[in-house]
Amino acid sequence: MAYFPPKQHLVTGGGGIVGLALALRLRQSAPALVDVTVCDPGLAGARKAGRVSTIAAGPRRFLESLGVWQHLGDAAWPVTAMHISDSQLQDVLRPIYLKLSGEITPGEAFAHVVSEDVLIETLRVACAVAGVALRATSVTNDRLEDEGRTISLADGGSLRADLLVAADGRPSPIRSRARIGVSRHDYGQNGLVATLQLERPHGGVAVQHFLPGGPFALLPMAGNRASIVWSQPHAAAQHLMSLDQSALAREIEACFGHHLGEITLVDRPQSFPLALGIARSFIAPRLALAGDAAHGIHPLAGQGLNLGLADAEALADGVGLAAGLGLPLGNEETLEDYQRARRAPAVAMAAAMEGFNALFSNDIMPLRRVRDLGMGVVDRAPGLKARIIRHAANLTAPADGPPRQA
Ligand SMILES: Cc1cc2nc3c(=O)[nH]c(=O)nc-3n(C[C@H](O)[C@H](O)[C@H](O)COP(=O)(O)OP(=O)(O)OC[C@H]3O[C@@H](n4cnc5c(N)ncnc54)[C@H](O)[C@@H]3O)c2cc1C
C-alpha cells in the first residue's frame, strides 16, 4: 500500500496573480499532500483594476503549464517587436536607436501584453477547480507557534498553517508584522497608466521612449488599443492627471509622435507612485514572501510581475518537494533554498532598473550621446541582440543546450 505523509496546509495572504499562481501550482502538483487556502478580501468580487502587464516567454510557459494561459484569448496580445528611442520631444525626426524583434521558438513571441484582471479571473476559476480554498477575507494577524503559524482573519475565523506565504502586495502587512525590513528608494516619479485607441495599426510593436522626465512605454493590445505607462516626476504627473481626456490625448501625441494617427483615451487614467522596495529577507520562520511583498521595482522594463511569477513557481515547487519527502512545508532548508534562488535575481533586476532610470531620465548631452551610441552599437550586433531578446523573455540559453528558464 502506498504511504502518504500526513496532509499539511499552506495559506497565502493575498490572492493577486502571484498568490493565486503559487496556490494553483502547489495544489496541482501535490493534491494528496497539501491543502491550500488563499485569503484576500478582493475575492468577494471581480477585480477591475484595468491594468496590463508585459509577461515574458519564461513566465508565460509557467502559466501555460498551469493550464491558464490557454484561456486568456485576446486578453494576451503578442509583442512582435520592441522599439527603443531616446530622441527629444522637439526633434523633427525621431530615430529609433534599437529595434528588438523575433520569436523565441517558431510562433512564440518573446513577450505578451496581458490584462491583469482577466488573468486573475482565470486563475481564480482554475484554483477553484483544483480544490484551492478561496476565502474572501483579509489576514489580520498571525502568530508563530512551534510547528506553524496561527492566522486570524477579518471575518472572525482562524486558520492553522504549516507555512504562511505573504503575497499581499507592496504594503504587505504580513511582512511588517514579521518585522522584516525593506530597502527603499523613492524614484520621485508617478507612473501614469491609460488605455488608448489608436487610429493606425500598432502591428504588435511595443515602444519604450526615454524622456528626460522618465520613460514612456506603449504596449500593444487587442482591437488596435494600447496601454501606456508614462513615468513622470510627481508634479508633472499631477498636472497630466488634472487634464481632461482630450487634452491628455494631445499631450500623449506630442510625446509619442503622430505615426499611429489620432489617439483617443478609452478610460480614465490612473497614477501610481513609483518606489523601489526590496525586503531584507524573503523568509522568516514558517513564513515566505513572494511577489511585490518581497520586491517592488520600477515598471520601466515591465519585470515586476515576471519576477513574482518566478517566485511563485520556485516556492511552490520547493514546498511540493518537501511535502513529497514528508518534511514540514516550512522547513528551514526549503525556505533557505527559495531565498537563495529568488533574492539575487530580484536585487539584480532592481539595480538594473535603478541604473537605467538614472541614466536615461535626464537630458544631459554627453550622457545622451553615450547612451545613443551604446544603443546604436547593440542595434548593429545581431548576436548581442538575440541574447538581449532571450534575456527580455526571461529565458537563458546555454551555449549548446536547449532553452531553460532563468
Ligand atoms: C504602472 C505599473 C506598470 C506595471 N507594468 C508591469 C509590466 O508590464 N510587467 C510586469 O511584470 N510587471 C508590471 N508591474 C508590476 C506588477 O503589476 C506587480 O509586480 C504585480 O501586480 C504584483 O502582483 P502581486 O500578486 O505580488 O501583488 P498585488 O497585485 O498587489 O496583489 C496583492 C493582493 O494582496 C491582497 N491583500 C493585501 N493585504 C491583504 C491582507 N492583509 N490579507 C489578505 N490579502 C491582502 C490585495 O487585495 C491584493 O489582491 C507594473 C506595476 C506598475 C505600478
Does residue 76 have its Cβ closer than 6 Å to ligand 1? no
Identify the pLDDT of residue 257.
Answer: 78
| DSSP state letters, 37-52 | EEE-GGGGS------E
Nearest atom of ligand 1 to the alpha carbon of 140: 41
Does 138 lie in the same domain as 267? Answer: no
| Shortest-distance Cα residue to atom 47 of ligand 1 | 42
Enclosing domain of residue 198: 75-113+186-274+377-396
Does 145 lie in the same domain as 53? Answer: yes
Q: Measure Cα distances from 305 to 1, 53, 220, 254 in Å.
A: 43, 7, 18, 30
> Reduced to 3 states, what is the DSSP secondary structure of residue 90?
coil
Identify the pLDDT of residue 43.
Answer: 97
Identify the pLDDT of residue 365.
Answer: 57
Residue 157's CATH number:
3.50.50.60
pLDDT averaged over consecutive 10-residue blocks of the chain (406 residues)?
80 98 97 96 91 94 98 96 73 61 79 96 98 98 94 98 98 97 92 95 90 87 95 93 94 84 93 93 98 91 90 98 94 97 90 66 57 56 59 52 35
Does 323 lie in the same domain as 237? Answer: no
Identify the pLDDT of residue 101.
Answer: 72
Identify the pLDDT of residue 85.
Answer: 80
| Shortest-distance Cα residue to atom 26 of ligand 1 | 291
Identify the pLDDT of residue 397.
Answer: 42
Identify the pLDDT of residue 131.
Answer: 97
Identify the pLDDT of residue 254.
Answer: 84
Does residue 18 have its Cβ closer than 6 Å to ligand 1? yes
Residue 219's CATH number:
3.30.9.10
**Distance, CA 310 to ligand 1 centroid (Å)?**
14
Identify the pLDDT of residue 402.
Answer: 37
| Shortest-distance Cα residue to atom 51 of ligand 1 | 299
**Distance, CA 360 to ligand 1 centroid (Å)?**
26
**Distance, CA 90 to ligand 1 centroid (Å)?**
36
Identify the pLDDT of residue 84.
Answer: 82
In the chain, the number of structural domains is: 2
DSSP 67: T
Does 178 lie in the same domain as 190? Answer: no
Does residue 21 have its Cβ closer than 6 Å to ligand 1? no
Least Cα distance to 218 among 74, 81, 371 occurs for: 81
Does 344 lie in the same domain as 281? Answer: yes
Does 42 lie in the same domain as 173? Answer: yes
